[in-house]
């Protein structure tokens, strides 16, 4: 079983960054708990922790998530950009819509749906 990490470094230009990192982690933790059986297809947060900047700056934040097989981008690339049959497209659409419905029932909207974010 593998893991994927997302490091969220603070940036002076984005003063809300630290708050956003915490909110993202809290939301992912909530969705992970609410989708305990994985039926909704939400990305699972395994761990979240701050890393103290040795230079005395703001903390960095690390999100550790499950490592998934590949993104839609990788899947299309592996298929040499040849497209997919209707059965594959239907299966992907069902999964995407099921996850979107799961989020919608919780009053949430994914605001960055794109081929690199679909696993």
Give the SS3 label for residue 110.
coil
What is the domain partition of the chain in residue ranges? 1-68, 69-119
3-class DSSP state for residue 43? Answer: coil
Q: Is residue 119 predicted with pLDDT exceeding 80?
A: no
At residue 82, the pLDDT reads 84
The DSSP secondary-structure symbol of 41 reads -
CATH code of domain 1-68:
3.30.200.20
pLDDT at residue 13 in the model: 55
Q: Which pLDDT band holds residue 46 (cuts at 50, 70, 90)?
A: very high
Entry pTM: 0.74
């Amino acid at each position: 079983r593998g893991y994927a990490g997302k490091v969220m470094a603070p940036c002076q230009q984005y003063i809300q960054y630290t708050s956003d990192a915490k909110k993202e982690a809290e939301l992912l933790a909530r969705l992970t708990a609410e989708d305990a059986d994985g039926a909704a297809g939400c990305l699972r947060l395994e761990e979240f922790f701050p890393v103290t900047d040795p230079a005395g700056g703001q903390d960095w934040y690390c999100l550790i998530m499950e490592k998934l097989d590949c993104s839609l981008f990788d899947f299309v690339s592996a298929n040499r950009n040849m497209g997919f049959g209707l059965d594959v497209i239907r299966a992907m659409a069902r999964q995407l819509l099921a996850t979107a419905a799961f989020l919608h029932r919780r009053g949430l909207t994914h605001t960055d749906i794109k081929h690199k974010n679909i696993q």
